[in-house]
Amino acid sequence: MISPIVFGALIDASGWQLPFALSCALLAAAAVVAWYMKPKRLTMTDGVLEIGVPKAEQHTA
C-alpha cells in the first residue's frame, strides 16, 4: 500500500531515473539473497515429518 505512494512521490520529485534505479537495486539485492538461500526440504512419510533429504532418498556408502 505504501510502495505505490512512495514510488509516485519519487517520480514527482525526481523523474523516472531514481525510482527505476531503486527498483533495479532491489531486484539485484533479491537475486543475491536468493542465490545464498538454503531452503530445507520438508517431506511427510508415513505421518513422520522429515527435514532435509528423506531417508528413502539418502544414499549410504
Q: Please state, in angstroms and rounded to a whole number, the distance separating the CA atoms of residues 40 and 50.
A: 10
In the prediction, which pLDDT does 44 show? 79
In the prediction, which pLDDT does 13 show? 93
* Residue 42: all three cell numbers together: 520438508
Q: Which residues contact 43 (CB under 8 A, 6 or more apart)?
A: 49, 50, 54
Q: Which residues contact 55 (CB under 8 A, 6 or more apart)?
A: 45
Q: What is the pLDDT of residues 1-41, one digit of tens each?
A: 678 898 899 899 999 898 899 999 999 999 999 888 776 77
**Residue located via cell numbers 519519487:** 10
